[in-house]
Amino acid sequence: MTEGVGLGPVRKVGFVLRQGSSEPVEVLKRLLTRARSLDMETFLDPAEVPELEDGVAPLEGNEAELDVLITLGGDGTLLRGARRVARCDVPVLGVNLGRLGFLTSVPAEEAEEALDGVVEGRCGLDSRTTLEAQVIRTHGDASEPLFALNDLVYHNAGVARVVHVDLRVGEGEEQEEMGSFSGDGVIV
């Protein structure tokens, strides 16, 4: 197996699918066939496609082992997949099964060719900045770190609920206050 551009050998591939449609399952079956022909290990959450045959390992807990994650859906699916591997530095390839696909670059009919391109090193990496945020409430409770690829939205649940936010950027001594806001929410 050859090395992908900036990836090293590509031997383990994970999949995340758009929910509620049969189209991702059909594309997934084609990609699994191709991956097996390339002697790749494949990973998927069993809950996403419970009827799949044996030979697919569970994705949960194995994200850091992946050489690439392939998402089958639209931009929302790509963002969900990117959050899963945000701490693992795993590249994400988005196969577009949606209508617009600003982030998902590969049409469904070219999915196998794209996998071949990753394995053969014909694909470049497009680095994206990942946002990491943490919500710290007035009484000091802090959320788990939150990761985002595009933007982060913080708002209060319910209709016509005002949220008050003191927004700071950075960590520790490098932290800079951006301002205080009251409104429906904040998009960063």
Could you identify the residue written with the tokens 């099964």? Answer: 97
Which among 45, 54, 67, 75 is annotated as catalytic?
75
Least confident of 51-55, 60-64, 154-158, 164-168: 51-55
* CA dist list (Å): 183 to 69, 148, 156, 176: 37, 21, 9, 21
Judging by DSSP bridges, how do beta strands 106-107 and 8-9 pair with one another? unpaired
CA 124, distance to chain mean position in Å, is 18
Q: DSSP labels for 120-147?
A: HT-------PPEEE--B-TTS-BPPPEE
Tens-place pLDDT, residues 47-103:
777 776 677 899 999 999 999 999 999 988 998 899 899 888 899 999 999 777 788
The dihedral formed by the CA atoms of 96, 98, 103 and 107, expressed in degrees to the nearest 10: 20
The pLDDT of 8-13, averaged and rounded, is 89
Q: Can you read off the two tokens belonging to residue 138?
A: 């007035």
Decide: helix, strand or coil at residue 91. Answer: coil
Look at 13-17, 106-110, 171-175, 176-180 and tell me which has the smallest mean pLDDT.
171-175
Q: What is the mean pLDDT of residues 159-170?
A: 81
Cβ atoms of residues 163 and 182 within 8 Å: yes
Mark whether 54 is an active-site residue: no
Q: What predicted TM-score, i.e. pTM, was given to this entire model?
A: 0.78
**Model confidence over 110-147: pLDDT tens digits?**
999 999 999 988 877 777 777 888 888 877 788 888 87
Per-residue pLDDT at 1? 37
